[in-house]
Amino acid sequence: MFKTEFLFALPKGFVDKEGNVHKEGIMRLATAADEIHPMRDRRVQDNPGYLTVLLLSRVITNLGTIENVKPEEIEKLFTVDFNYLQEFYTRINQFENPNIETECPHCGKNVEVALDFLGNLGE
């Protein structure tokens, strides 16, 4: 089954203005537009490091009870959480699990099996 959304849990969590901590969220696979459109943003042109902030705000579909994650919220993440999300983004968008052919131990037929290098993220 092809998955486009993956669950994550932040190490520390985002603390909103009311003091609520949001740790769990969902990140979707990125599209070409997700990586291209932020390049036109003046904040990225002034500071290329801001690209990651905009990119994460586009692909995180929710963070706790926050459904429309904004760049300002990504800016307020603890560094450990920001780094975690960068790595998580890379893992789900740049690695694809390969399939191998093997013999079914029950029936003896050759079958194709997906190797799960992502560790069942989101399942």
Q: What is the pLDDT, as a whole number, of residue 14?
A: 97
Residue with the two structure tokens 């849990």 = 9
Q: What is the pTM of this model?
A: 0.76
- Amino acid, res. 62: N
Asked if residue 47 lies in contact with residue 33, where contact means CB atoms within 8 angstroms, the answer is no
Boundaries of every domain in the chain: 5-96
Q: What is the pLDDT of residues 18-61, one digit of tens each?
A: 999 999 999 999 999 999 999 999 999 999 999 999 999 999 99
Closest Cα to residue 78, out of 123, 32, 14? 14
Closest Cα to residue 30, out of 89, 91, 95? 89
Report the b/e string of 39-73 with b at 16+ CB within 10 A: eeeeebeeeeebbbbbbbbbbbeebbebeebebeb
Q: What is the pLDDT of residues 53-77, one digit of tens each?
A: 999 999 999 999 999 999 999 999 9
